Amino acid sequence: MIGLAGAALNYWLIEDYSNNSLAQFPKRSSNFNTLLQKGQSLSKRTFDFQIAAVEGLLQTFQQLFGLNLTSVVYGSVPNPFAGMKTKSGYPPPPMNLSFVDGAESGQALPLWPQIQPARGMNLLIAWDDDEDTSPYAWNNGTNLYNTYLDANTSSLPFPIVPPPTTFINRGYTSRPTLFGCNVSLTTSGDTRSPIVLYVPNAPYSAYTNYSATAAAISRKEVNQIYVNSFNLLTQGNGTLSSDWVSCIGCAVIDRSLSKVGMERTEQCEACFANHCWDGVEDNSPVGVVDLPLALDPGLSFEVWNQTNPFIPN
């Protein structure tokens, strides 16, 4: 496994040099100053970088590490396929591969390599921790929706996914949701499409929309993220939805059942009816996505923040 830190430096650079007219980057909010003027300062992820700040970062990398601009804006790793023979007319694989942040394509969820038909995927878990909405930086399904659009255009098997307005209006921004349970709601119309379990970052026991620019996170905050993630994925260890954990198991085995000619159990049919997208869209106007703590809805962010101060921008 190779881990690379996502970097938006190349997009920040283009945005600044083009006076914010090019390379609008999904992970960057461009209305930070507007929010401050309105007195909205609770967002943890809205931020802005001026040309001087971006160029200062470049100079630091040059001075401390001897890295030029090209070295900074791409992640370069050895190509495991280098040296392999290719068909006539195709160039040989390069010695190194250059990686960029996947969100530059509007798909911060790295699903594209996994949905290639040769992989034969049955289930994909898509944990979304992007910052799609303003001012509080919760998710709205944009990344999953963009993957569906590209998969549909490329004739790849994938669940049909509704627009972000439906995610917000039907509450898919605050709880896990399954897509593709019904094969009629897939691009292929059959079991070649995997089921996708979409899990959006949402507040259950802690407000976890931390700043993407934070240089450090305390042990307490890390623990809060872990506990919140457990509560999100298990729906409060089953207290918010008694059938949810077993429903995950149903999603794991569902495509295999179809391949061996077995029927779904009544339990799985019931849980899919509760937790899978049913194909209904709600694209009415949406408001601000301001989520409460799912396990303690009465505890506002302001009160919670008095004893759990989040990382400032």
Count how many residues are written for the chain: 313
Peptide bond into 91 cis (omega under 30): no
Residues 67 and 187 in one domain: no
| One domain for residues 83 and 133 | no
Residue in the structure block whose two tokens are 């759990």: 308
What does the pLDDT read at residue 167?
96
Please determine, for residue 57, whether its predicted confidence score (pLDDT) is greater than 70.
Answer: yes
Q: What's the confidence (pLDDT) of residue 3?
A: 61
Amino acid of residue 249: G
pLDDT tens by residue, 243-292: 999 999 999 999 999 889 999 999 999 999 999 999 999 999 998 999 99
Asked whether the predicted pLDDT for residue 41 surpasses 50, the reply is: no
Cα separation, 8 vs 2, in Å, equals 19
Query: Do 132 and 274 fall within a single domain?
Result: yes
Q: Quick one: which of 181, 235, 161, 182 has its CA closest to 204?
A: 235
Residue that terminates a domain, selected from 88, 105, 122: 105
Residue 49 has a pLDDT of 60
Q: What is the pLDDT of residue 31?
A: 35
Which element (helix H / strand E) includes 123? strand 123-128
* Residue that wins the pLDDT comparison between 41 and 185: 185
Q: Which residue has the higher pLDDT, 296 or 3?
A: 296
Range of the domain at 52: 1-105
Domain count, the chain: 2
Q: Against a cut of 0.85, is the pTM above it?
A: no
Nearest to 99 by CA among 113, 118, 88: 113
Within this chain, do residues 99 and 158 fall inside the same structural domain, yes or no?
no
Clarify whether residues 87 and 211 are in a common domain.
no
The pLDDT tens digits of the residues spanning 142-159 come to 999 999 999 999 999 999
Is residue 184 located within the same domain as residue 243?
yes
For 85-111, the pLDDT digits (tens) are 888 878 889 998 887 777 777 888 889
Residue 119 and residue 253 share a domain: yes
What is the Cα–Cα distance from 48 to 99, expressed in whole angstroms? Answer: 24
